[in-house]
Amino acid sequence: MHPLQNTDLVKIIVSFQAGWPQALVGILRHLREVSNTIRIGEVWLGLTAPCLAEAMPVDLHLLQQVHTRLPGAITRDVFDYLAASGQLLAIIFLHTHHYTCSKWALNAAAEAGHLGVVRFLHDHRSEGCSTHAMDYAARNGHLDVVEFLHRHRAEGCSSFALTAACARGHLGVVRFLHRHRHEGCTSHAMDSAAENGHLEIVRLLHFERHEGCSRVALEYAAKYGHLDIVRFLHTHRREGRLADALRNAAAQGHAAVVAYLLPFVPVLAPEAMDYAARNGALDTVQLLHATGRASCSKRALTWAAMAGQADVVCFLLRYRTEGDVEEAHAMAERMQMTSVARLLRPFVTSARNIRIADVDYIGFTMCEKRPQFLVA
């Protein structure tokens, strides 16, 4: 008989071999990814890595097998990860078998809104948490977690909690922190609430708190088209320049905001029409033109041509005289806006050489219409 046909002998040989049982390969690979990506040294990264953010919950039966066969694979990082991802049964199992975690278990569970995990860790573990727990529970709108931490723990929060809740529009959290906590916020709270369109929060901060705002509140509310907030801030506060707010609204094509601000801005800077033209906001260009007191610069036609805004180019050619047709045509060709270049060609009256260095490329790029980004 060949030695490898002897079952008892093969079992003895295999017992001395290192390796993973096939059934555990997947979970062990995942736990290794957790330990490699959830933190760098003591810097917590959380579930930012795609392999963690998109992972399925850990199979409890497989985790129990890992505990039996390879307990060293269950590290502090794994415990923290399971808390961050809200896997309460796995947390209970690890706690029962005396595995360790860090304060980031409770911090991350609170941040993600896993109240059951937060309760369990509070009741049964001693690692505690930091102000990060309430700060980020507030930021993410988890009012139940904020209330629990406020009532049962002493770490508290920082001014970031109220500021971030305002920025993200979590009115219930804002009201709770305003009534029950003393850390306060900064002027960034009203700035960001205005920027993101949260009128009720802006009203609360104005009427019930004292931190105020900066010019950013009005100017960014206008930039993102929040007419109700622009009207409120203009009525009740004095921060911010109306001319800059109008320019911002024009650049983004918010004609209703521009129309509201026009009576309060006696001198209209050319940037308003320039930026509106660059971004193809024809209705705003027409509105500014109709006032009879708005000007633009040659950039309006050139930028509109560079951006391929054919309808704006047509309007400016017909009703405005500030443009440099030769420059606009040359730049349309350079930017490969062939239809606009074709439209401009009949109006070109000279073959002068256009100096590219004279074109405001930086301004063209910086005033591009951009999506709103949630702050804090």
pLDDT in tens, 36-77: 999 998 899 999 989 888 889 999 999 999 999 999 999 999
Same domain, 288 and 355: yes
Same domain, 290 and 253: no
pLDDT at residue 18 in the model: 56
Same domain, 206 and 279: no
pLDDT at residue 11 in the model: 67
Same domain, 60 and 71: yes
Same domain, 217 and 274: no
338 lies in some domain: yes
CATH label of the domain that carries residue 237: 1.25.40.20
Q: Tokens for 21?
A: 């049982």
Residue-wise over 215-249: b if at least 16 C-beta within 10 A, else e? ebbbbbbbbbbbbebbebbbeebebbebbbbbbbb
190 lies in some domain: yes
Query: Domain ends where: 243, 267, 291?
Result: 267
pLDDT at residue 146 in the model: 99
263 lies in some domain: yes
Same domain, 259 and 293: no
Total domains, the chain:
3
pLDDT along the chain (376 residues), means of 10: 66 60 88 94 91 90 95 96 98 98 98 98 98 98 99 98 98 98 97 98 98 98 98 98 97 98 96 97 98 96 97 98 94 95 92 79 85 73
Which pTM does this prediction carry? 0.88
Q: Which domain holds residue 210?
A: 186-267
Same domain, 237 and 288: no
Residue pair 77/98 in contact (Cβ under 8 Å)? The answer is no
